[in-house]
Chains A and B, each alone.
Chain A
Amino acid sequence: RKEVEQDPGPFNVPEGATVAFNCTYSNSASQSFFWYRQDCRKEPKLLMSVYSSGNEDGRFTAQLNRASQYISLLIRDSKLSDSATYLCVVNGPGTYKYIFGTGTRLKVLA
């Protein structure tokens, strides 16, 4: 089983739609979780950290489910500019390593 798994997509959604991605992780001892956004041929950029209580930033909401070992990202009112790859990141317990998923590609269509 991969340490961090994501559905690669693509998710094709119309503008204004709500879309959600999940990411599962294998090590229950992981403590830190993040979502990054990566545009084509660019570097990853931090979108948001994921806290145990969940967190929201504008149209973006992140949740953590420790029991089922997954994190989620919800995007409301999708914009064309949201088209990108969304990378799930989990820390490797007892290490300094961060483990990235392969990313989920989102295309928002006009």
Chain B
Amino acid sequence: DTGVSQDPRHKITKRGQNVTFRCDPISEHNRLYWYRQTLGQGPEFLTYFQNEAQLEKSRLLSDRFSAERPKGSFSTLEIQRTEQGDSAMYLCASSFGLPGQDVFGSYEQYFGPGTRLTVT
């Protein structure tokens, strides 16, 4: 399967614990996004990487959240000191943008299956 993959698919954790999720984008895609989705809502943008550079973060993202994409391939999203309000589906998406073409928001994204986080 050459689509976007995410691991784990489900995570149950106790409040206060740290969790880390992994996303492997489509191999030739240089752009990677993280979103959070709660029931009855659309995905909410969290952060964006172009290759290994984190170019944008949502202002809503608390400092308990951090993301990395160290070699421009897979990415990790870590949540420290989890709270019950962090319970959601965390989605990763990737897209391809031509090198040197820096047009905002022009590219179609492909989503992974998501990691469902439950904080008890």
Contact = CB atoms under 8 A, between A and B. Distances in A.
Interface of A: 4, 8, 30-32, 34, 42-46, 49, 87, 91-103
A34 B58 CA distance: 21
B48 interface: yes
Main secondary structure of the interface of A (DSSP, over half): loop
B104 A93 contact: yes
Interface of B: 31, 33, 35, 40-45, 48, 50, 55-56, 58, 91, 104-114
A102 B111 CA distance: 17
Contacts of A45: 111
A34 B56 contact: no
Contacts of B112: 43
A96 B46 CA distance: 11
Contacts of A49: 108
A91 B45 contact: no
A91 B44 contact: no
Contact of A96 (B43, B91, B105): B105
A8 B31 CA distance: 30
